[in-house]
Amino acid sequence: MHLRRGIGSLLLMSAAVVGTGCARAADFIPGDRNQAQATPRPTPPPILAPPILPPARLQLGERTTTSALNVSDAELAGSVVRLEARQGTNLLRVGTGVVVDQQQRLILTSYQIVEPYAGDGSRAYGSLEVAVTRAVGEAATSTYLAQVVRAEPALGLAVVRATKRIDGAALAPGEFDLPAAPLGDSARATRGDAVRILGYPGMEEVNPESGRLVASEGSVLGFRGDTGIPGVAWIKTQARVPSGQNGAPVFDQRGRVLGLMLQGSYTPTAPAGQTRPVALATRLIDEARQAGPEASYVAPLFRRPAYSPGPIISRPVFAENALEGASGDLFDYTESYPDTLSTLHYEFLVQGATPGVIIDERWYLNGVLQDGLSSSVPWAMSQFEVVTDRLRAPSGRTLQAGVWRLELWAENQQRAAAEVYVGSSTSTRSRGTVSDFQVGATANIEGKIKDSARATSNQVVFSFNYANAAGVHQLKWTVFRDGRAVYTSPIVPWEGGTSGTWWVGYSPGTAIGAGTWEVEVQFDGQVVGSDGAKVF
């Protein structure tokens, strides 16, 4: 592969962009619309075109004067809380949330902060605390205990309820007196709208500001979509806020919640830099209200990818079109295109990359590496950026039909990958297969069964091998006991890549009991396998 000079990718920091004269290799001659079949050709000659680079952007804690805001920090501060996941006295995760229902004591936050399971299926923390302050600049004090009521893992959102005082005593009626923030209409957000973000910087004990409420201002710069999510999936701002503001509310000019700041994946050192619109949280909030005061969330029990130090890169998404002008917004997100496609747009998130780290884009057509389209770029941007780029055929020509695969590598490890299908029948898509099921009580982070399942076990897990799953987006499973469905998981993002070993499970909260335990696994809504075993 070759090294792009300068910044070869179109690195879009959720901001306006300007053209430069550096060389890049995203435009190429991949094929001809008259070709009857795809014929992979390694290293096609590139056509050089200028990259698009970002201007300066908002730094951590910096304030701007984009336009007037009609509410003060003091008016917003009371509804913003700090969430602390602890094991005994040890602080394990820290995030921010916003009160959305005072009477029912409901707080909207990031699921990454409150997810109850670790990657190996063990409990991630023992207690969830809500720390409170009433003013920006003041430190929060742990005041309540809380539990998760409802969550949407695929969207990274959760609703928790304050249940007790911090000492474990019951709450008296009206004792939870934090004001609820009104919800805004994120569908009406437009470019240039002023926003304000309130949250807590992080968990670094050496930083005296880590537990203090801080405010930042910015503006709406554009919007992003995602495969499988109708409408706007993300609101782009120039804000990059500390990790403790994962889950922080983004307020509009009138003090209404426009969305939540989220990380791409939880880490205590990288910033949060993307906004999930509140429109995607309203159903979740309504479900939490209707669930009743004793409701608790039964979280999906499943494997997570093994931790790998270094940058976190999101799965790339593809789009057929992009807006002209400075915003660079993509639209028409999908992964199947006709053979008339001439330009393929794509974007992905890079979180936690340090300057100089090599980020590789490796393109394959029908399994053959396209070296001339691939690139290696030394990272020269911040620790949270959205990379947007395109493959474009010359005028009058089209992308070669077939299965295109983009792999994203950092520090010699593959971090993410996705496939897109141009002019190929749906039968060529990588829908995934599963095999070799095993049943147990616990599994390790590599996906293998660790302990056998017994009637006295408090959970049951199912391990399986998978293959050809590069095109899979979503995972779902149903657990059966003696032929009767006892649990159906929510949809969770598929993070397993092309092949390997995975596991899913069910924890009823008590001993599972003897019987025949089975699981049915779905990839993108289609059943791909089922099996089970007797448990004694």
Q: What is the pLDDT of residue 289?
A: 97
Q: What is the pLDDT of residue 82?
A: 97
Which range has the worst mean pLDDT, 169-183, 204-218, 292-306, 412-426? Answer: 204-218
Q: What beta strand segments (E) does 172-272 contain? A: 194-199, 214-226, 229-237, 249-251, 257-262
Give Rg (Cα) of the chain. 24
For residue range 463-491, what is the model confidence (pLDDT) as tens digits? 999 999 988 989 999 999 999 999 999 99
**What region, left, alpha or beta, does residue 525 occupy, with left being phi > 0 and alpha being psi -120 to 50 degrees?**
left
Which range has the worst mean pLDDT, 41-55, 406-420, 503-517? Answer: 41-55
Helix %, strand %, coil % of the chain (to 5): 5, 45, 50
Q: Which residue has the higher pLDDT, 202 or 194?
A: 194
DSSP 140-156: PEEEEEEEEEEEETTTT
CATH architecture label of 433-535: Sandwich (2.60)
For residue range 310-319, what is the model confidence (pLDDT) as tens digits? 899 999 999 9
**Mean pLDDT across 200-223:** 81
Q: What is the pLDDT of residue 471?
A: 85
Kindly state the percentage of the chain with pLDDT values over 70.
84
Which range has the worst mean pLDDT, 162-171, 415-424, 512-521? Answer: 415-424
Chain-centroid distance, C-alpha 144: 28
**Mean pLDDT across 396-406:** 92
**Mean pLDDT across 374-397:** 91
**Mean pLDDT across 213-238:** 90
Q: Residue 25 pLDDT more than 50?
A: no
4 pLDDT band, cuts 50/70/90, is very low
Q: Which residue has the higher pLDDT, 306 or 6?
A: 306
- Nearest CA to 473 out of 280, 301, 228 is that of 228
Chain-centroid distance, C-alpha 234: 10
**Mean pLDDT across 118-125:** 86
Buried b (16+ CB within 10 A) or exposed e, 370-392: bebbbbebebebbbbbbbbbbbb
Q: Residue 497 pLDDT more than 90?
A: no
Assess contact for 535 and 517: CB atoms under 8 A. Answer: yes
Q: Residue 501 pLDDT more than 70?
A: yes
Q: Residue 247 pLDDT more than 50?
A: yes
Q: What is the pLDDT of residue 269?
A: 87
Look over the chain and give the mean of its residue pLDDT values, rounded to a whole number: 85
Which range has the worst mean pLDDT, 68-72, 259-263, 415-419? Answer: 68-72
Assess contact for 105 and 162: CB atoms under 8 A. Answer: yes
Residue 404: strand pairing partners: 365, 420
Tell the CATH topology of 73-298.
Thrombin, subunit H (2.40.10)
Task: Look at the alpha carbons of 12, 233, 500, 307 in this order and tell me if their dihedral is positive or negative.
Answer: positive
Going from N- to C-terminal start, the domains of the chain cover: 11-56+309-425, 73-298, 433-535
pTM of the model: 0.86
**Mean pLDDT across 27-55:** 35
Q: What is the pLDDT of residue 470?
A: 85
Q: What is the pLDDT of residue 306?
A: 73
Q: What is the pLDDT of residue 20?
A: 26
230 pLDDT band, cuts 50/70/90, is confident
For residue range 331-375, what is the model confidence (pLDDT) as tens digits? 889 889 999 999 999 999 999 999 999 999 999 999 999 998 999
State which amino acid sits at residue 238.
Q
Q: What is the pLDDT of residue 325?
A: 60
For residue range 65-99, what is the model confidence (pLDDT) as tens digits? 445 578 899 999 999 999 999 999 999 999 999 99
- Nearest CA to 424 out of 40, 41, 25, 29 is that of 40
For residue range 178-196, what is the model confidence (pLDDT) as tens digits? 999 999 999 999 999 999 9
Q: What is the pLDDT of residue 15?
A: 31
**73-298 and 433-535 in the same fold:** no
- Domain 11-56+309-425 in CATH 3.50.30.40? The answer is no
226 pLDDT band, cuts 50/70/90, is confident
Q: What is the pLDDT of residue 68?
A: 59
Tokens of 88: 């005994």
Alpha carbon distances (Å) from 344 to 52, 392, 514, 522, 524: 16, 6, 53, 29, 23
- Residue 312: CB partners within 8 Å, gap ≥ 6? 264, 265, 267, 270, 349, 350, 351, 352, 415
Q: What is the pLDDT of residue 430?
A: 66
378 pLDDT band, cuts 50/70/90, is very high
Q: Which residue has the higher pLDDT, 325 or 349?
A: 349
Q: Residue 44 pLDDT more than 50?
A: no
